[in-house]
Amino acid sequence: MTIMTYPVFFLSFFLLYGKGWRHVDKTGPEGNIDAFLQYGQDAVLVIGNGRLLRSWDINVGGLNWEVVLDSGSFQSACLVGQQNTVKQVAVLKKAAISLHYLSNGHQKWIENLPDSETVDYQTVYSGGNGEVYVLGVVPHSHITVVAYSVEDGEIIKQYLVEAPWLSNLQVSCTVVSQGVLTCIDSATVSLYTLDLHAQSQMTQMPLQTLGLELAPGFHPTLVSSQPNPSHPPLSEFLLQLGPDHYLLLQLMHLNFLYCQAMLVTFVTTGDKTVAAVMSPKNRTVKFNEQLVNLFSVETGRRLLDTTLIFNIDPNGGKPEKLFVQAFLKKDDSVGYRVMVQTEDHTLTFLQQPGRVIWTREEALSDVVTMEMVDLPLTGTQAELEGEFGKKADGLMSMVLKRLSSQFVLLQAWISHLWKLFYDARKPRSQVKNEVTIENLSRDEFNLQKMMVMVTASGKLFGIDSNTGSILWRHNLDNIPANAAFKLMVQRTTAHFPHPPQCTLLIKDKDTGLATLHVFNPIFGKKSHITPPALTQPILQSLILPLMDQDYAKVLLLVDDQYKVSAFPSTKNVLQQLQEMASSIFFFLIDSSQGRLSGYRLRTDLSTELIWEVIVPPEVQRIVSVKGKRPNEHVHSQGRVMGDRSVLYKYLNPNLLAVVTESTDTHQERSFIAILLIDGVTGRIFHEAVQRKARGPVHVVHSENWVVYEYWSTKSRRNEFSVIELYEGMELYNSTVFSSLDRPHAPQVLQQSYIFPSSISTMEATLTEKGITSRHLLIGLSSGGILSLPKMFLDPRRPEIVSEQIREENLIPYAPELLIRTEWFINYNQTVSRVRGIYTAPSGLESTCLVVAYGLDIYQTRVYPSKQFDVLKDDYDYMLISSVLFALFFATMISKRLAEVKLLNRAWR
Amino acid sequence: MDAPIFQLKFLVVFIVSFIVFVNFVYCNNGGRHGDSLDTELSGFSVPLEHSFEVDDVAKFSVRGALVLKGGREPTVSLSQNQLSEEDRIKLKEVAAVDGLYRIRVPRVFLQGDRQTEQQMEGYLTSFVRACAMVESHLSDAITLTTDVSGYLIGISIVTLPGACRGTEVEDEVDLEVFNTTLRVMAPVNAPGPETALFLERMEQELEKKAKNPQEQKSFFAKYWYLILGGAIFLMVTNSAQPPAGGGREQS
């Protein structure tokens, strides 16, 4: 059993199975976990900057107790024990220390800290002798030590120690042995020790006297181990002097065990403590194989038969942390299992001699963006496609090729039949239909796809949408900490024999510098195409519908000099770009200055500013800009009204919905505004202001409508608003749409509704041809995903129902949108913290594929207009075909009879 | 019968508020008229500039002056110069190479009290294809958009008709005078959920039901004979054969 904590949630799992329980706390800083302590079956957590103290039972995940702490920013916490039992937990805040019982959370005492304005109290320590030490520091001056009695909170002693070199206790100090504060100073490269009981001065010991050197630029750290809070820590401690340079030191004699290791950690089982050391097997081989060994702490000798081999995944990262579960075998030797956390947030649990029990990809809890890519055709289908793709070379060879491909098809069919026959004999449970990267192929209706997921840590995953199994993973190196990702599909699987191609744009938000990673989305392999090196910060990227001769869509990148570079940038592409230049427009948004500007491409790949809109940033700031999805199809151009006339939709593919929030957050004056701007001409069609409202605003923009959700500060509730745009009763130009030639502004209709729940994200369904009616997929904060028919969000919903409106099938207006339980598409499977919903069309018009990602990933299919193009499961094929045959034979017989009758009549 | 009146009233209020926010201002054209240039105490003028160059490098020159009157309901009028002979030729040349006709105004704050407060740094720009300008005989519609607090945030220009069909404009006189429709667009107040009206409607329906006791009868009381008949019919038909497995419902 182990517990992992994350900033927002923690989970516990049984090590042998890799499964357990999880608790997710509130969003935002209120739910952050500050400290985590474990003793026996209890896990004690401090949550929300010292707001709450909670104790959980780690076996079942039940809450033991919860207490609200006094206000004050949290500093540190520790368990306090006496005479072999741990009864209290001490919580140190900025100005006070409190002691709580571990059994029920009740406060034993709380004391204000002396001189808390000047002294920065940072650490609390207890060695099990009835005293609690609070250590504070005045940076570059001295350390303050205050000892409290556990019984009544009385100050036993209080003194100052000179330490002009020290600035942070938590970073550079630790307590070892019988209350000896040990610190490391990187400036003088020396070790300082202070006996907390003795009230003496610090003794300095330069590391050079021990013959040790510090790796340049490395900040040394100290790690100690306190196996039981009711006893003082061990007198042995670890000193890290370089990225892979650890020392095991003993305080009394300062003898040391020198080891070259990647990771070292202490392990305690029973009363034995050992050090687990991970080191590369062979220095010359590139870190691929790591060995884990146990060393005795007292002697520094390696324990025999304790080697464990850990193979580093070449697509993963370097090991970052080592957790060891040790147990005593029957013969009193130490057996152990290891959990390794690598840089790509993978947890691997191994046992001797290196067998992997399970792996968990924790990076998947932070998916940033994703795409769904069609699977390739099977080998035989591809063969057929290839036949038509190639150029004709003579009649004879074409015939031969056709024959050979037909033969291949026949072969595949026979082997398929054989497999069916073979499987049918086996019991059903034994038939394994495991999806591997080799047998991936598109199904009949293109329902199974490859989900390419990009995580915040820079690890890419390829997941099969049907089974959810991870088919490939790839860890990207050198990802900046605050990177922004944009994933684009440059070439789909439709262009055999060219492999599909995805491009990931990774941009450092601080510097604006970007890199491109080009890969095959089906196999995850890095493409052999070398992307251009981007030396300038990138402002904007856009995928054009243009294709090069290899069917890869052209990616345009705009740098901060407003120069445009294309990828791929072959001659063919550049020529096409030159021809198309005057019709390629793009926009840039600088939200800090409130500037929206439009640019046009010139033939020499420079750009010119053509329009500018400036929203004053003193009054409102731009929070989101939504365009339409490029792969969206709209089937019907208009809506048929009750009197059989047609109201045409305003379908401008260049329309942008810009949402701004007021900088004034007072609830009476705050507002949100929505601007509808043409991205080509910069023309503002509509500007609506929702007063007494504030964000977060969630927007969906599709077809001729924009739906947004906001918080109404006046009524203190969530509200939805829908804007629909109509061209009117006649179309201006029914054949083509050009933003440059639409002089009339569209008609704007708007209506608002009350929504009874807060939401975390929103997206619209998407289908192949856009015939199916649309639904809105709403991720609720409760973990449900709601499929709300767009029909309910229609500004033409009438207040008063008339005959004509009834004809049109409009629902009468009701101010509240109800949540019907049958609209939840995930039933009882909660999806925590939904961050985004991705929708993709499938081969069936009725079906839309949905992926919701947050802490969990959930994939399903939705049928907004029911399955109108699929026969039901209980469709009676037998009846229909027998009726058909019977009718056929009946006609045959009756025809024959009629003929006979005619003949007979003729003879008469 | 007071409900329809109430609704009508509401509608009127709505329409009025709509009209208040969209001020149509027709301006006179052809420059040199003194009456439109009378800058009142609160009004002040900013230049409306345009640029049309064969090489598409913007060189703005004054086209006219926008006279802005701030306050609650900002009004704008425009007085503009005629195109000179030289400009007319240039405009036709630009139209021939499918260049752009750009306009710009400085950013202004309509609600400010003094001129210094009202003008800000930067320009708002927009464009239209030069050929559309020529083919529409300089008849354009300029829209100025303001935000909630009265800052000018955008300008747009469209021509009527908007298309470039390649028709030649022979008469030079057609390209002399601008025929401009000017409009100021302020944000519309987005409607909130209409609870009051809905509740009123519900009440009315309840009242109607109360007045009509026939309607008050329960569902069973009204249709008992139909339900009974249906039930008997079902029993008769179903007793012969048990129903086959029900159809599965897909959502």
Per the model's pLDDT, the better-predicted residue between B247 and A698 turns out to be: A698
Cβ-contact A205, A221 below 8 angstroms: no
Whether residue A751 and residue B102 make contact (CB cut-off 8 A), yes or no, is no
Q: Is B71 on the interface with A (CB under 8 A)?
A: no
ipTM: 0.75
pLDDT for residue A858:
93
Using a CB-CB distance cutoff of 8 angstroms, which residues of chain A are in contact with residue B117?
A: none
pLDDT at A427 over 70: no
Q: Is B143 on the interface with A (CB under 8 A)?
A: yes
What's the pLDDT tens digit per position in A554-581? 998 988 888 888 888 888 888 888 888 8
What's the pLDDT tens digit per position in A859-886? 999 999 888 888 888 888 899 999 999 9
pLDDT for residue A7:
57
Look at residue A823 and give its three-state secondary structure: helix
Q: What distance in Å separates the CA atoms of residue A701 and residue A722, rounded to the nearest whole number?
A: 10
Is A355 domain-assigned?
Answer: no
Q: What distance in Å separates the CA atoms of residue B221 and residue B213, rounded to the nearest whole number?
A: 13
Chain A nearest-CA distance from B100, in A, is: 9
What's the pLDDT tens digit per position in A44-94? 888 888 888 988 888 777 888 999 988 888 888 888 888 778 888 999 988
Alpha helices in A558-700 (DSSP H): 571-580
Q: What distance in Å separates the CA atoms of residue A38 and residue A580, rounded to the nearest whole number?
A: 65
Is A514 domain-assigned?
Answer: yes
Interface test with A, best of B100, B158, B204 (most A CBs within 10 A): B158
Using a CB-CB distance cutoff of 8 angstroms, which residues of chain B are in contact with residue A677?
A: 154
What's the pLDDT tens digit per position in A94-106? 888 999 998 888 9
Please report, for chain A, how many H helices and E strands are present, in that order.
6, 60
DSSP state of B247: P
Last residue of a domain, one of A507, A531, A555: A531
Q: What distance in Å separates the CA atoms of residue A139 and residue A630, rounded to the nearest whole number?
A: 57
Is A88 domain-assigned?
Answer: no
Per the model's pLDDT, the better-predicted residue between A487 and A278 turns out to be: A487
Is A900 domain-assigned?
Answer: yes
Q: Is B89 on the interface with A (CB under 8 A)?
A: no
Give the Å distances, CA to CA, from A232 to A162, A178, A862. 24, 6, 60
Interface of B with A in 7-66 (CB under 8 A): 7, 56, 58
Using a CB-CB distance cutoff of 8 angstroms, which residues of chain A are in contact with residue B122?
A: 612, 614
Using a CB-CB distance cutoff of 8 angstroms, which residues of chain A are in contact with residue B194?
A: 752, 799, 813, 815
Domains held by chain A: number: 2
Could you tell me the pLDDT band of residue A10, with boundaries at 50, 70 and 90? low
What's the pLDDT tens digit per position in A206-215? 877 777 777 7
Residue A536's Cβ-side half-sphere holds a number of Cα atoms within 13 Å equal to 12
Cβ-contact A266, A234 below 8 angstroms: yes
User: Is the CA virtual torsion A806, A807, A809, A810 positive or negative?
Assistant: negative
Least confident range from A530-539, A702-711, A748-757: namely A530-539
DSSP state of A419: H
Structure tokens at A231: 């006893």
| Residue numbers of the domain that contains A883 | 876-907
Average pLDDT on A462-487 reads: 88
**DSSP of B174-239, one letter per residue?**
GGTS-EEEEEEEPPEEPP---HHHHHHHHHHHHHHHHH-HHHHS-HHHHHHHHHHHHHHHHHHHHH
Integer-rounded Cα Rg, in Å, for chain B is 32
CA A681 to chain centre: 36
pLDDT at A114 over 80: yes
pLDDT for residue A721:
93
Could you tell me the pLDDT band of residue B40, with boundaries at 50, 70 and 90? very low
Cβ-contact A614, A594 below 8 angstroms: yes
User: Which candidate from A614, A688, A799 shows the least CB-CB separation from B153?
Assistant: A614
Using a CB-CB distance cutoff of 8 angstroms, which residues of chain B are in contact with residue A615?
A: 147, 151, 153
Cβ-contact A849, A763 below 8 angstroms: no
Phi, psi of B191 (to 5 degrees): -70, 145
Tell which residue, A293, A84, A78, has the closest CA to residue A174. A78
pLDDT for residue A431:
53
Contacts with A255 (C-beta within 8 Å, 6 or more apart), sequence order = A249, A300
Tell which residue, A357, A302, A300, A297, has the closest CA to residue A325. A357
Whether residue B250 and residue A687 make contact (CB cut-off 8 A), yes or no, is no
Q: Is B190 on the interface with A (CB under 8 A)?
A: yes
Bridge partners of residue A676, in order along the sequence: A657, A686
Contacts with A262 (C-beta within 8 Å, 6 or more apart), sequence order = A244, A278, A279, A280, A287, A290, A318, A319
The H-or-E segment that residue A753 falls in is strand A747-755
DSSP state of B74: -
Interface test with A, best of B9, B18, B136, B145 (most A CBs within 10 A): B145
Whether residue A614 and residue B124 make contact (CB cut-off 8 A), yes or no, is yes
Count of CB atoms situated within 10 Å of the CB of A375: 20
pLDDT at A280 over 80: no
Tell which residue, B109, B117, B121, has the closest CA to residue B146. B109
Average pLDDT on A332-348 reads: 82
Whether residue A743 and residue B191 make contact (CB cut-off 8 A), yes or no, is no
pLDDT for residue B116:
57
Question: How would you class B103 by CB atoms within 10 Å of its CB: exposed for 0-12, middle for 13-18, buried for 19 or more?
Answer: buried
Using a CB-CB distance cutoff of 8 angstroms, which residues of chain B are in contact with residue A614?
A: 107, 122, 124, 153-154
Contacts with A611 (C-beta within 8 Å, 6 or more apart), sequence order = A597, A598, A681, A682, B125, B126, B127
Share of chain A above pLDDT 70, in %: 93
Whether residue B143 and residue A684 make contact (CB cut-off 8 A), yes or no, is yes
User: Which candidate from B126, B151, B192 shows the least CB-CB separation from A719?
Assistant: B192
pLDDT for residue B16:
32
Q: What distance in Å separates the CA atoms of residue B228 and residue A537, rounded to the nearest whole number?
A: 78
The H-or-E segment that residue A183 falls in is strand A180-185
What's the pLDDT tens digit per position in B9-20? 333 333 333 333
pLDDT for residue B28:
40
User: Which candidate from A608, A719, A874 shows the least CB-CB separation from B56?
Assistant: A608
Is A59 domain-assigned?
Answer: no
Is A474 domain-assigned?
Answer: yes
DSSP state of A429: G
pLDDT for residue A363:
86
Bridge partners of residue A874, in order along the sequence: none
Is A271 domain-assigned?
Answer: no
Using a CB-CB distance cutoff of 8 angstroms, which residues of chain A are in contact with residue B191?
A: 721, 750-752
Whether residue B159 and residue A800 make contact (CB cut-off 8 A), yes or no, is no
**DSSP of A758-815, one letter per residue?**
-EEEEEE---SSS-SPPEEEEEETTS-EEEEEGGGS-TT--SS--HHHHHHTPPPP-S
Average pLDDT on A814-836 reads: 89
pLDDT for residue A16:
59
Using a CB-CB distance cutoff of 8 angstroms, which residues of chain B are in contact with residue A690?
A: 190, 192
Is A596 domain-assigned?
Answer: no
Q: What is the mean pLDDT of chain A?
A: 84
Beta carbon pairs, A and B, within 8 Å: 147
User: Which candidate from A608, A615, A688 shows the least CB-CB separation from B153?
Assistant: A615
pLDDT for residue B1:
36
Could you tell me the pLDDT band of residue A836, with boundaries at 50, 70 and 90? very high
Q: What distance in Å separates the CA atoms of residue A790 and residue A788, rounded to the nearest whole number?
A: 6
Using a CB-CB distance cutoff of 8 angstroms, which residues of chain B are in contact with residue A688?
A: 187-190
**Closest residue on chain B to A602 (Cα):** B56
Cβ-contact B118, A674 below 8 angstroms: no
Q: What distance in Å separates the CA atoms of residue A36 and residue A843, rounded to the nearest whole number?
A: 49
Q: Is B213 on the interface with A (CB under 8 A)?
A: no
What's the pLDDT tens digit per position in A614-670? 998 888 899 999 999 888 888 888 888 888 889 999 988 899 999 999 988 888 889
Whether residue A743 and residue B147 make contact (CB cut-off 8 A), yes or no, is no
User: Which candidate from B132, B148, B156 shows the least CB-CB separation from A683?
Assistant: B156
Tell which residue, A747, A757, A666, A748, has the closest CA to residue A720. A757
Whether residue B154 and residue A620 make contact (CB cut-off 8 A), yes or no, is no
Q: What distance in Å separates the CA atoms of residue A340 and residue A324, rounded to the nearest whole number?
A: 9
Cβ-contact A273, A223 below 8 angstroms: no
Chain B nearest-CA distance from A779, in A, is: 18
Last residue of a domain, one of A510, A531, A552: A531
**Closest residue on chain B to A708 (Cα):** B190
pLDDT at A326 over 80: no
Structure tokens at A252: 């009394």
**Closest residue on chain B to A825 (Cα):** B251
Using a CB-CB distance cutoff of 8 angstroms, which residues of chain A are in contact with residue B198?
A: 799, 813-815
Whether residue B192 and residue A866 make contact (CB cut-off 8 A), yes or no, is no
**Closest residue on chain B to A593 (Cα):** B122
Whether residue A684 and residue B195 make contact (CB cut-off 8 A), yes or no, is no
pLDDT at A806 over 70: yes
Cβ-contact A97, A154 below 8 angstroms: no
Structure tokens at B111: 């609600």
Q: What distance in Å separates the CA atoms of residue A557 and residue A561, rounded to the nearest whole number?
A: 11
Integer-rounded Cα Rg, in Å, for chain A is 34
Whether residue A671 and residue B148 make contact (CB cut-off 8 A), yes or no, is yes
The H-or-E segment that residue A487 falls in is strand A483-491
Could you tell me the pLDDT band of residue B36, with boundaries at 50, 70 and 90? very low
Cβ-contact A487, A371 below 8 angstroms: yes
Using a CB-CB distance cutoff of 8 angstroms, which residues of chain B are in contact with residue A669?
A: none
Whether residue B193 and residue A750 make contact (CB cut-off 8 A), yes or no, is no
pLDDT for residue A357:
85
User: Which candidate from A608, A613, A721 shows the least CB-CB separation from B154?
Assistant: A613
Whether residue B154 and residue A741 make contact (CB cut-off 8 A), yes or no, is no
**Closest residue on chain B to A870 (Cα):** B250
Whether residue A681 and residue B251 make contact (CB cut-off 8 A), yes or no, is no
Sorted by where each begins, the domain ranges of chain B are: 44-185, 195-233
